[in-house]
Structure 1
Amino acid sequence: MASRVVSVGAVSLALLPSLAQPSLAGGLDRGGYNIDQLFDASQFSVQSGVIYVMPQRKLKNVQDIDTSFGTGGGNLNGRSHSADETEDYAVPYFGLKAGYGDVDCLVDYSEPFGAHINPGINWAGANNNIETKITTRNYGATCSYKFDVGPGQLRLIGGTFYQEVEGFKTRLASTLPIAFGTGTGVGRLDLSDEAWGWRAGVAYEIPEYALRASLVYNSRVKYDNLTGTVDLTQITAPVAPLNGLPYGTVVPVSGSAEAPDSLELKVQSGIAPDWLAFGSVKWTNWSVLQTVPFCPTTGACPVGGLASLDLAYRDGWTVTGGVGHKFNDQWSGAVSLTWDRGTSDGYGSQTDTWMVGVGASYSPVENVEWRLAGALGVMTSGESGTIVKDGITYGDDVTYSFGNDLIAAISTSIKIKF
């Protein structure tokens, strides 16, 4: 009986490092999908938390390789050949779990995907990007039904989620308006949409050993009606005579894209009194995002779209392993190591990331748990240049390289159980 009490007390340790393990390398991954609160042993629980992430990606050896005025915006090689690409960001979470008999349900709010890249206008790659920001808001409902199988319980999991996306991108389309004093030469794309997704999975638990294995699939989210505008009001004469684009106007546009599906295996088990080992492997289908063109809602569409988000991602893999320890009835701790395979493959700056996470849990009373965690990692070096993928050319406007850069994160959360 003593071993059962020790092991059950260690179950929550597996959640600690994940609060501080952002997946920066994996496409547009932010908080991802996390339904661990569904397994909370209490009948009701409320949890709220936030992760604050501080990436420090610095681009260097930047070269403008498309110096034409028609497509490249002009020669920008007189500008800085380095830039700070990334911005700090916060990822909130809120969840409410309720159980009745063998049924548990979780409703939650999260922000699974996003990006904020902001190298600015004064670098040699401004014709590729000045600032790009994408935000998602996810509202989920997930339930499970558990029943006895062998020495433990098998849990069947299913749910749905409603997801909203919005974002913008700015880039320098031409330096001619600046020279003639007729505008900044900056074009801006704004977009938004909403769509539904679903999840399904299974889990097997043996509580007396703090053993749990879960396999959960999250579907793609099909944004078939991405709508927005391309603002070209800062690109005015004498640019317009150079081509047929509707410069000097705001143009309604539309497009389509998919947020990726994913499959994640998580395993944890008590390994000694007051000790727990845990690990996970996640595959994310980021290769569904290659180039996302946006065409005018009326009239002809230029080749490649009036504007586009060019990503050229490959699939992402995330592997985590760690151990947790219960010090006493109030304090527990955990440490983990995570490898995240970068989704860039010769274009972009999302290379492999290695992160070490540590976390602590404090329970001043039985039904309150406060968690604090942190992580420190390295985003590995690489370079971005011209590639051809599925017949489409990427990176023919700017090239750059980058070294091994640091990423840090802190997180905190509070859970009330009753």
Structure 2
Amino acid sequence: MKRITGAVAILAASTTLASAGGIDRSGQFLRPLFEEGGESGSYVEFSFGSVSATVKPDILSVDPVQSHQPYSFAFKQSLSDKLSLALILDQPFGANVDYRPALPLGSATIETQALTGVLRYKFSDNFSVHGGLRLQTIGGEIGTVVSGVPSLLNADSDVGIGGLVGVAYERPDIALRVALTYNSEIDQDLTGIEVSPLPATISPSAFTVTTPASLNLEFQTGIAQDTLLFGSVRYVEWEGFNLTTSGAGNYVNFREDTTTYSLGVGRRFTENWSGAVTLGYESAGIRPTNTLLSPTTGITSIGVGATYTQGNTKVTGGITYARLGDQSGFLGPAPINFQDNKAIGAGIRVGFNF
């Protein structure tokens, strides 16, 4: 049943799609930490995907949400029978929206990079604990109207440091695993420039952004021969997340926490092939939005994936279709509505144990 988890992983990554919880993207899950290595206890994987959304504002002739291409790398090494180490590189948060030319200063590109190092210690075949550090950077550009003044902000951060800690329970005989992980918030000190055309000014800017703390629950269990039930719950403390400078003021201010769910079934069909189907859900949040950085709210998704295993190599592909919830807001005094929104995400991952 362990071969089924390849399709599970790529589906979990693509289900988050473009707008799960604030500007959440990777989900910060730790599945590679539990992968089995080969003779030397080593495992490595590379993944790449593409996410494309269609979002329809009723008073603008633009589709503001831009496609993005997430990627990740993970390496896991068994250090002893009880101790193992994993390194995971991903992009936990991000946004790509562009309302131009309908709104000359209506765009945002936010990117993060994170390197997570985590150790796992097994007390027995059933119980283990894990913990580590996350190094993260954030940067990008936002153009919008702040306090009635058109403003363009371009800034990048230093390396922020956060922590994570968790516990897992396993029963290998039925492929059962339940893992709970707490990810701390990370303070990021950014420097850059703010540009305003009214009047024409260019000013240096220094400020702090705190990316949110989160709690991840990941689980799987065998329910029949060669059949696996799996899923996750992710809670993120988005309420209070803001981007506020000493110049123009408040560019972004999220008002509520989010919880995202996924549930799926995987099955091995042959010695080489396995597949999975997964459902994803996040409830709709506050309407209207106070930031056009998030022009949708809530998500319902379905995905399918397959894994081919040959020797020490696993190749996994998956695709997810999502309905993104309606949202509304204001362009100055004018109301704006976003309806009939959808997204498609696809990805591929190659893993080796050696």
Provide the TM-score with structure 1 as the length reference: 0.78
> How far apart are residue 10 of structure 1 and its match?
3.8
> How far apart are residue 334 of structure 1 and its match?
0.3
Q: 2:244 aligns with which of 289, 293, 299?
A: 293
Does structure 2 retain, via aligned residues, the 8 Å contact 1:166–1:191?
yes
Q: 1:220 aligns with which of 171, 185, 188?
A: 185
Does structure 2 retain, via aligned residues, the 8 Å contact 1:382–1:401?
yes
Instruction: Find the residue that maps to 1:34 and give its secondary structure.
Output: coil
Are 2:349 and 1:407 aligned? Answer: no
Does structure 1 retain, via aligned residues, the 8 Å contact 2:27–2:234?
no
Are 2:324 and 1:379 aligned? Answer: yes
> How far apart are residue 12 of structure 1 and its match?
4.2
> How far apart are residue 404 of structure 1 and its match?
2.1
State the AA in 2 paired with 1:315. Answer: D
**Within 5 Å, which residues of 2 pair with 1:191-340?**
191-193=155-157, 194-223=159-188, 225-232=189-196, 235=197, 239=198, 247-289=199-241, 291-295=242-246, 305-340=247-282
Percent identity (aligned): 25
Q: Relative to structure 2, which stretch is displaced further, 339-348 or 406-415?
A: 339-348
Q: 1:158 aligns with which of 114, 128, 131?
A: 131
2:8, 2:119 → 1: CA distance?
A: 21
Relative to structure 1, is the Cα distance of residues 56 and 153 closer, same or farther in structure 2, using a 3 angstrom cutoff? same
Instruction: Find the residue that maps to 1:84 and give its secondary structure.
Output: coil
Aligned to 2:28: 33
Residues matched between the structures, number = 344
Please give the per-residue CA displacement for 1:205-235, whole angstroms capped at 9, x wherever unaligned: 1111110001001000112x22211123xx2
Relative to structure 1, is the Cα distance of residues 204 and 172 closer, same or farther in structure 2, using a 3 angstrom cutoff? closer
* Unpaired segments ≥5 residues, structure 2: none
State the AA in 2 paired with 1:335. Answer: V
Provide the TM-score with structure 2 as the length reference: 0.91
State the AA in 2 paired with 1:370. Answer: V
Please give the per-residue CA displacement for 1:183-205, whole angstroms capped at 9, x wherever unaligned: xx974211111311110000011
Relative to structure 1, is the Cα distance of residues 114 and 8 closer, same or farther in structure 2, using a 3 angstrom cutoff? closer
Are 2:88 and 1:116 aligned? Answer: no
1:384, 1:216 → 2: CA distance?
A: 35
Aligned to 1:51: 49
Does structure 2 retain, via aligned residues, the 8 Å contact 1:26–1:341?
no
> How far apart are residue 399 of structure 1 and its match?
2.6
Does structure 1 retain, via aligned residues, the 8 Å contact 2:296–2:341?
no
Instruction: Find the residue that maps to 2:129 and give its secondary structure.
Output: strand
1:269, 1:16 → 2: CA distance?
A: 18
2:2, 2:43 → 1: CA distance?
A: 17
Instruction: Find the residue that maps to 1:306 and give its secondary structure.
Output: coil
> How far apart are residue 380 of structure 1 and its match?
1.8
2:85, 2:48 → 1: CA distance?
A: 22
2:115, 2:333 → 1: CA distance?
A: 38
Please give the per-residue CA displacement for 1:117-143, whole angstroms capped at 9, x wherever unaligned: 1010324xx5xx521110001011011
Higher share in strand: 2
1:260, 1:410 → 2: CA distance?
A: 26
Relative to structure 1, is the Cα distance of residues 89 and 343 closer, same or farther in structure 2, using a 3 angstrom cutoff? farther
2:265, 2:145 → 1: CA distance?
A: 49
Instruction: Find the residue that maps to 2:8 and give its secondary structure.
Output: helix
State the AA in 2 paired with 1:57. Answer: V
State the AA in 2 paired with 1:340. Answer: E
1:292, 1:327 → 2: CA distance?
A: 49
2:277, 2:30 → 1: CA distance?
A: 20
The structure with more radius of gyration = 1
